[in-house]
Amino acid sequence: MSSAVWHPFTQHALEPAMPSIARTGGAYLETADGRTILDAISSWWVITHGHRHPKIMAAIRHATETLDQVIFAGLSHEPAEQLASALVDMTPAGLDWVFYSDSGSTSVEVALKMALGFHRNNGAPRSRIVVMEHSYHGDTIGTMSVGARGVFNAAYEPLLFAVDTIPFPTAGHEQKTLDIFEQLTRGRGVAALIIEPLVLGAGGMLMYPAWVLAELKRIAEHSETLVIADEVMTGWGRTGTTFACEQAAIAPDILCTSKGLTGGSLPLAATLATDAIFRAHFSRDRARTFFHSSSYTANPIACAAALANIAIWKDDPVAERVAALSRMQADKVARFDKDPRFENVRATGTIAALDLRVGTAGYLAEVGPRLRAFFLERGLLIRPLGNVIYVLPPYCVTSDKLDQLYGTIDDAADLASDGI
């Protein structure tokens, strides 16, 4: 039977029929025909504790007994109130206000609008946004504008606004990044720097040290430039701490979170901001209102799932699991450190990545789809970014399964050299 579904990031002219997933649990997906697949990328980086965590599923069921969607303009509800308080308590100090939306992209759109509104309402409008080379913040118009320009968004270039770009801080050249950012901010015309802390996700799982993030924040403060931390992917333990900013001992002016916010169970996002940003919009003049919303803002069932996720972080040994997985990832990917088939072998927290040496690299490298098919045939969901193979599993994955996974990566590299 043919499908009417148009899948994301999929060239249907080249893709085979897609497996249908009938059940999920723990670190695994089960197909309709009974095959088991290890979800080595946490279903696009959203699943943290594992699929269908019992406490989160129970919270969802309980929430459906009393609430469904409630308009969030002019009304509130207890799950959203409790969640906002919990998020303020567990994020870096000074992020005192929580604005809800429903995806990582929309949380970033909210952040950009907050930054521009802050400067405008304070009587000193600024419009420039500084971004980091190779960054990715989403697929809506604003988020594409602040992401790397290329194959992802070339067709939509007429819709995008101009930004200033600082180079990715490659090892040994970090000062160049800092110097260029300092130069851009000298005239005090930059509204905000938006950055993926420590790890650039879709840009190739590129990693940089925490001290660079701390220096960028210091430079931004000197010029009263806001710092937006896009923690949509890096948050909820992915980099080894609850939020990546913690490792640089910084508090951004705005923080975006989604993906792991509900443990990956339901779509929900939040943009946290300082009191100064809220106060810039707080006025008896209605024209200074923060004009943003979506129909499903602060969905009560999704908020209940997020509260259950936070309870798991508080009550279960999640930090220990994250630390153990971080050690395992660093240890197991290290087997490829001196392997001539690979380069740039790296790990930050629970994320590990390595670049397969190929003639033509990049997101559209021909080896990418072939590797994905090879892994899937062997029961692994690994979705390489072109020639970049990365492993970003749920925290419940076991050491022996990671051993099998990295063994399969070893096999794939051999077959890639033979032209898979």
CA separation, residue 111 to residues 200, 217, 223 (Å): 18, 16, 19
Are both 298 and 364 inside the same structural domain?
Answer: no
- CB distance 333 to 357 below 8 Å: no
Q: Which of 286, 315, 344 is the last residue of a domain?
A: 315
Are both 300 and 341 inside the same structural domain?
Answer: no
Handedness of CA 337, 343, 344, 345 (dihedral sign): negative
pLDDT, position 420: 62
Q: Which of 315, 332, 354 is the last residue of a domain?
A: 315
Q: How many domains does the chain have?
A: 2
Are both 112 and 191 inside the same structural domain?
Answer: yes
pLDDT, position 315: 98
| Structural domain span for residue 351 | 317-417
Distance between CA 55 and CA 278 in Å, rounded?
Answer: 34
Place of tokens 């790397």: 148
Q: Which residues fall within 8 angstroms of residue 82, CB to CB, at 6 or more apart?
A: 303, 307
Q: What are 198-256's pLDDT values in tens digits?
A: 999 999 999 999 999 999 999 999 999 999 999 999 999 999 999 999 999 999 999 99
pLDDT at residue 1 greater than cutoff 60: no
Helices 300-315 & 318-333 angle (0-180, nearest 10)? 80
Q: Which residues fall within 8 angstroms of residue 331, CB to CB, at 6 or more apart?
A: none
Q: Which residues fall within 8 angstroms of residue 3, CB to CB, at 6 or more apart?
A: 18
SS (H, E, C) 45-90: HCCCCCECCHHHHHHHHHHHCCCCCCCCCCCCCHHHHHHHHHHHHH
Are both 210 and 301 inside the same structural domain?
Answer: yes
Length of the chain (residues): 420
Q: Give the percent of the chain with pLDDT over 90.
A: 95
Are both 238 and 372 inside the same structural domain?
Answer: no
Are both 262 and 327 inside the same structural domain?
Answer: no
Residue 164 pairs in a beta bridge with 130
Query: What integer is the mean pLDDT of 324-345?
Result: 97
Query: Which tokens belong to 206?
Result: 């590129």
- 306 residue type, one letter: A
Confidence band, pLDDT 50/70/90 cuts, at residue 115:
very high
Place of tokens 């508080």: 314
Distance between CA 420 and CA 410 in Å, rounded?
Answer: 13
Are both 397 and 354 inside the same structural domain?
Answer: yes
Q: Could you tell me if residue 167 is inside a domain? A: yes
CATH number reported for the structural domain that contains residue 373 in this entry: 3.90.1150.10
Are both 309 and 337 inside the same structural domain?
Answer: no
Q: How many CB atoms lie within 10 A of CB 282?
A: 14
Place of tokens 């197909």: 31
- CB distance 413 to 45 below 8 Å: no
Q: What are 258-292's pLDDT values in tens digits?
A: 999 999 999 999 999 999 999 999 999 999 999 99
Backbone φ, ψ for residue 81 (5° rounding) = -65, -45
Q: What is the DSSP letter of 164?
A: E
pLDDT at residue 16 greater than cutoff 90: no
Query: Which tokens belong to 23?
Result: 């059940």
Q: How many CB atoms lie within 10 A of CB 19?
A: 15
Q: Could you tell me if residue 50 is inside a domain? A: no
Confidence band, pLDDT 50/70/90 cuts, at residue 418:
low
Place of tokens 């840009």: 203
Query: Would you put residue 236 in left (φ > 0), alpha (ψ -120 to 50) or beta?
Result: left
3-class DSSP state for residue 29?
A: strand
Backbone φ, ψ for residue 21 (5° rounding) = -90, 125
pLDDT at residue 128 greater than cutoff 80: yes
pLDDT at residue 37 greater than cutoff 80: yes
Q: How many CB atoms lie within 10 A of CB 347?
A: 24
- 314 residue type, one letter: K
pLDDT at residue 197 greater than cutoff 60: yes
Q: Which of 265, 297, 315 is the last residue of a domain?
A: 315
Structure pTM? 0.97
Q: Could you tell me if residue 407 is inside a domain? A: yes
Are both 219 and 178 inside the same structural domain?
Answer: yes
Backbone φ, ψ for residue 192 (5° rounding) = -160, 150
